[in-house]
A and B are shown apart, each in its own frame.
Chain A
Amino acid sequence: MTDTATPVVRASGLTKTYGSFTAIDGIDLSFEENRIYGLLGRNGAGKTTIMQLLTGQIFPDGGRLEVFGREPAEHVDVLSRICFIAESQKYPDSFKPKHVLESAPLFFPHWSQGLADELIDEFRLPLNRPIKKLSRGQLSAVGVIVGLASRAPLTFFDEPYLGLDAVARTTFYDRLLTDYAEHPRTIVLSTHLIDEVSNLLEHIVLVDQGRILIDRDADEVRGSATTVAGTRDAVESFVAGREVIGRDGIGGLASVTFMGALDALQRREAHELGLELAPVSLQQLIVHLTGADLSAEKEVVS
């Protein structure tokens, strides 16, 4: 894409280490204005560390980082444009939801009280109950309400829906989409629950072990892998020379997933060989790319 706009986030060689552990290993990253990003990966992949770096909560050990054109840490003009909804946000012991929602507008210049009020209603959030006594879902609702009503130009949601029931999650997705359509901004959704959110995302960044495995538009990722199943010999000859990312088998039957889509001619060829072709969902693709099955197989081979 030939976009001349300055990216909201630009990182190169970004590194974060904790002692001998490299949490973020020299990543390059660019977030453009007014898009919804999915920051995906397994637990411990480095998603939260990346967001803490981008929001100036921790300092990088190497590389360059610009958010709205500047280093994020300690720059008020940058931080006032960022909202970070952490997975397990801590609040003062005596706090009630109303205290959170009364203080939030002080931090976010674009705060919409109207939207906050509607969301409080839809999530049925008890404003006067001590936060300590809220259910996990109600606690998540507090974060979701602040994150959406902040209308911050760069909003991060880190696993925002823990404990939210199906109705509340749907409310979150619907409100996110409609408010984003009316008030475009850059939104980063971090999650390991991929199936539910995959359709909301315009661009996907897949992180594994502190590195970026995929950084592409969601529509390019979807359909970028294919699973072919049939007799072992036929399958193996069909996938020869392809980038195999997953293998399953039982007896003389095999099922192999590889990167790349097939054109009509190749599909016909597969059918004529008696092979079955199956779609690979985004979630399945990510399981294959970040799962243990391949590395285990490599160890067997070597």
Chain B
Amino acid sequence: MDESRPIFIQIAEQVENDIIEGRLPEESQIPSTNEFAAFHRINPATAGKGVNRLVEDGVIYKKRGIGMFVTTGARDMLVERRRTRFADEFVRPLLTEAAKLGISATQLSDMIRTEGTSP
């Protein structure tokens, strides 16, 4: 866990990552709040806040008395949302660091192309 950010947000993000990367397929059951709490050694109320956040976002839904399941279409929605944040979270810091090191835009795109083709 990253100490600087609310844990419930980190729990929600981990589930989102599992959905995006296919470890939690759509309509599959996700662990219970208490299972999240025990696994991460966190307060169950905190785990519950993370799960509720996903329910509010429509990423997962509750089946009363059975558990929580990944919504159909959740993966596409999450990927779309992450894409819109990609520029802010990854591209801009990359450009700032490149500018600091005197790497030009051309050199940077060359580097991305090289890295992209190497195994």
Complex partner residue of A177 from B8, B41, B96, CB under 8 angstroms: B41
Cross-chain contact A271 with B4 (CB below 8 angstroms) = no
Of B44-52, B65-73, B102-110, the one with at least 4 CB within 8 A of chain A: B44-52
Cross-chain contact A202 with B4 (CB below 8 angstroms) = no
Task: Digitize A165-203: 1 where CB-to-B-CB distance is under 8 Å, 0 elsewhere.
Answer: 000000001100110110000000000000000111110
Complex partner residue of B44 from A177, A219, A223, A279, CB under 8 angstroms: A177
Cross-chain contact A279 with B38 (CB below 8 angstroms) = no
Task: Digitize B85-107: 1 where CB-to-A-CB distance is under 8 Å, 0 elsewhere.
Answer: 00010001100100010000000
Chain A, interface SS category: helix
Cross-chain contact A219 with B8 (CB below 8 angstroms) = yes
Apart from A218-B46, A222-B4: 6 A-B pairs, beta carbons within 8 A: A177-B43, A200-B43, A201-B43, A202-B45, A219-B49, A264-B88
**Distance, CA A218 to CA B7, complexed state (A):** 9
Task: Return A231 CB to nearest CB of chain B, in Å.
Answer: 14
Task: Return A92 CB to nearest CB of chain B, in Å.
Answer: 36
Most chain B CB within 10 A, of A181, A198, A202, A272, is at A181
Please give the residue numbers on chain A whose beta carbons come within 8 Å of chain B beta carbons, in ascending order: 35-36, 173-174, 177-178, 180-181, 198-202, 218-220, 222-223, 264, 268, 271-272, 274, 279-282
Given contacts A181-B37, A271-B93, contact A222 B42 (CB under 8 A): no
Given contacts A199-B43, A202-B45, contact A271 B96 (CB under 8 A): yes
Cross-chain contact B43 with A218 (CB below 8 angstroms) = yes
**Distance, CA A219 to CA B92, complexed state (A):** 28
Given contacts A199-B43, A281-B4, contact A177 B37 (CB under 8 A): yes
The chain A residue sitting closest to B40, CB to CB, is A199
Q: Which residues of B contact A199 (CB under 8 A)?
A: 1, 7, 40-43, 46
Complex partner residue of B3 from A177, A274, A282, CB under 8 angstroms: A282
The chain B residue sitting closest to A196, CB to CB, is B41
Given contacts A219-B6, A271-B93, A272-B96, contact A174 B45 (CB under 8 A): no
Q: Which residues of B contact A271 (CB under 8 A)?
A: 93, 96
Q: Which residues of B contact A174 (CB under 8 A)?
A: 38, 41
**Distance, CA A40 to CA B65, complexed state (A):** 38
Q: Which residues of B contact A220 (CB under 8 A)?
A: 6
B17 located at the interface, meaning its Cβ lies under 8 Å from any Cβ of chain A in the complex: no
**Distance, CA A201 to CA B34, complexed state (A):** 15
The chain A residue sitting closest to B5, CB to CB, is A223
B56 located at the interface, meaning its Cβ lies under 8 Å from any Cβ of chain A in the complex: no
B115 located at the interface, meaning its Cβ lies under 8 Å from any Cβ of chain A in the complex: no
Cross-chain contact B42 with A200 (CB below 8 angstroms) = yes
Q: Which residues of A contact B7 (CB under 8 A)?
A: 199, 218-219, 222
The 6 lowest CB-CB distance pairs between A and B, nearest first, are A279-B4, A281-B3, A219-B6, A181-B34, A199-B42, A202-B43
Cross-chain contact B45 with A35 (CB below 8 angstroms) = yes
Q: Which residues of A contact B45 (CB under 8 A)?
A: 35-36, 202
